[in-house]
């Protein structure tokens, strides 16, 4: 499994930031709607009542975004800039207001989309802003003056969106670098214990949700201390990197290969017991193919446990895999032991692993 996750086309980058942005908007809009309605000399009682209801609803929405953003439907954060653009365009058109001040209200949906939503959603919001403003300025100012005013607005909004999204993209790249550094083992490049712990919880939830099988392979190098003592720690590091390279080859697209520390490695894959034994065999073969190490290819002992076949929780999965590894080491090293069955892989018939098992 790659440490870098590709962002979806319709991602919400920051729920906390998006909820605060919407909360601030509705908090400011609530008194604005009521006050502007009240000071209108031609206002009647029904208009005041409607404005009051709208103001209360906006205030409630603001509190909800502040206190319980997770209770708001996810689609709402994508609808928010579209709704804001529609409201601004509708008010400007209804009041025949083509002034610069009225056009500045378009900045909120544009900056919101540029900061919290993906490029595809931002482009959609820009197109809506262009269309909404065109409907007003061409109707109020006429074709020639309206075209000049509209082009200026398009350039201003586009430049604002470009600058904000480029800054956000730079921040995302820096965050990705920090996340990779925090989640990767510096020597081997595999995932570290922190990443593995999170992945174990996530994959366990996947197994429960889909009734799928999850296999954990715990790998330990045989006589690693002797390698360090005989050939030096630099060669010991090369051996660890060789094992990591082999693990990357057999981890698969949905697998997690990690170094927990020292000479202890783990691999997590979505498969059953037979396929996991085949992966263990493939891993030992990949390690044995290394001919460039001073002491030759290292031997490895592997313990395998499967959820739900052997255990019912991810915590028990780790314990069962550790216990199987212990048996593999105490029964002669260089072996594979399977939780529940305790078979030596060398005594099992060879087969091509099927990931569906």
252 part of a folded domain: yes
Where is pLDDT greater, at 51 or 143? 143
The sign of the torsion formed by the CA atoms of 80, 81, 87, 90 equals: negative
- Do both 151 and 203 map to the same domain? no
Domain of 314, in residue numbers: 193-347
- Do both 132 and 79 map to the same domain? yes
- Do both 129 and 214 map to the same domain? no
- Do both 148 and 199 map to the same domain? no
End-of-domain residue from the set 182, 214, 237 = 182
- Do both 101 and 133 map to the same domain? yes
pLDDT > 90 fraction of the chain, expressed in percent and rounded: 53
Per-residue pLDDT of 160-186, as tens digits, reads: 999 999 998 898 888 888 888 788 898
Residue 73, burial from CB neighbour count under 10 angstroms (0-12, 13-18, 19+):
exposed
57 part of a folded domain: yes
- Do both 140 and 220 map to the same domain? no
80 part of a folded domain: yes
Q: List the 336-338 sheet strands across, edge first.
A: 256-261, 264-269, 214-221, 300-307, 336-338
- d(CA 111, CA 132) in angstroms, rounded, equals 17
Q: Point out the residues that are catalytic.
A: 263
End-of-domain residue from the set 127, 147, 182 = 182
- Do both 100 and 202 map to the same domain? no
pLDDT > 70 fraction of the chain, expressed in percent and rounded: 91
Per-residue pLDDT of 65-84, as tens digits, reads: 988 988 888 889 999 999 99
357 part of a folded domain: no
- d(CA 163, CA 180) in angstroms, rounded, equals 26
- Do both 244 and 165 map to the same domain? no
Indicate the angle between helix axes 15-38 and 75-95, nearest 10 degrees. 30
- Do both 41 and 120 map to the same domain? yes
209 part of a folded domain: yes
307 part of a folded domain: yes
Per-residue pLDDT of 346-355, as tens digits, reads: 443 333 334 4
Residues 6+ apart with CB under 8 A from 221: 227, 239, 240, 243, 263, 298, 299, 300
Looking only at the bridges linking them, the beta strands covering 256-261 and 264-269 are antiparallel
Q: What is the pLDDT of residue 327?
A: 92
339 part of a folded domain: yes
Q: How confident is the model at residue 332 (pLDDT cuts 50, 70, 90)?
A: confident
Measured from the Cβ of residue 333, the count of other Cβ atoms closer than 10 Å reads 14
- Do both 166 and 236 map to the same domain? no
Q: Is the pLDDT of residue 138 over 80?
A: yes
Q: What is the pLDDT of residue 326?
A: 93
End-of-domain residue from the set 138, 157, 182 = 182
Please give the tally of structural domains in the chain. 2
99 part of a folded domain: yes
- Do both 197 and 175 map to the same domain? no
- Do both 154 and 176 map to the same domain? yes
- d(CA 92, CA 102) in angstroms, rounded, equals 7
Where residue 233 sits, what CATH number does that domain have? 3.30.70.270
């Amino acid at each position: 499994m790659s440490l870098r996750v590709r962002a979806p086309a319709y991602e919400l980058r920051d729920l906390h930031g998006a909820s605060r942005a919407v909360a601030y908007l509705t908090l400011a809009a609530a008194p604005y709607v009521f006050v502007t309605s009240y000071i209108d000399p031609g206002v009647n009682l029904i208009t005041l009542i409607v404005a009051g209801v709208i103001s209360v609803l906006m205030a409630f929405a603001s509190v909800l975004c502040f206190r319980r953003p997770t209770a708001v439907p996810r689609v709402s954060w994508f609808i928010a800039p579209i709704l804001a653009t529609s409201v601004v365009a509708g008010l400007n058109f209804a009041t025949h207001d083509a002034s610069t001040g009225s056009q500045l209200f378009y900045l909120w949906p544009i900056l919101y989309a540029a900061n919290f939503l993906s490029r595809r959603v931002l482009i959609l919001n820009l197109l809506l802003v262009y269309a909404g403003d065109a409907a007003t300025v061409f109707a109020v100012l006429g074709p020639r003056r309206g075209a000049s005013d509209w082009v200026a607005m398009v350039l201003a909004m586009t430049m604002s969106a470009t600058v904000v999204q480029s800054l956000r993209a730079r921040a995302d790249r820096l965050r990705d670098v920090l996340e990779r550094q925090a989640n990767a083992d510096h020597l081997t490049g595999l995932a570290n214990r922190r990443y593995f712990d999170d992945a174990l919880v996530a994959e366990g939830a996947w197994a429960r949700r889909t009734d799928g099988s999850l296999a954990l392979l715990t790998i330990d190098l045989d006589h690693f201390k002797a390698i360090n003592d005989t050939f030096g720690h630099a060669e010991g590091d090369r051996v660890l990197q060789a094992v990591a390279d082999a693990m990357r080859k057999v981890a698969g697209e949905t697998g997690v290969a990690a170094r927990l520390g020292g000479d202890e490695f783990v691999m997590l894959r979505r498969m059953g017991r037979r396929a996991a034994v085949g992966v263990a065999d493939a891993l030992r073969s990949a390690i044995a193919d290394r001919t460039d190490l001073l002491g030759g290819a290292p031997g490895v002992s592997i313990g395998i446990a499967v959820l739900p076949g052997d255990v019912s929780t991810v915590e028990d999965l780790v314990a069962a895999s550790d216990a199987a590894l212990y048996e593999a080491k105490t029964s002669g090293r260089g072996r594979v032991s399977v939780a529940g069955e305790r078979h030596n892989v060398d005594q099992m018939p060879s087969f091509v692993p099927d990931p569906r098992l």
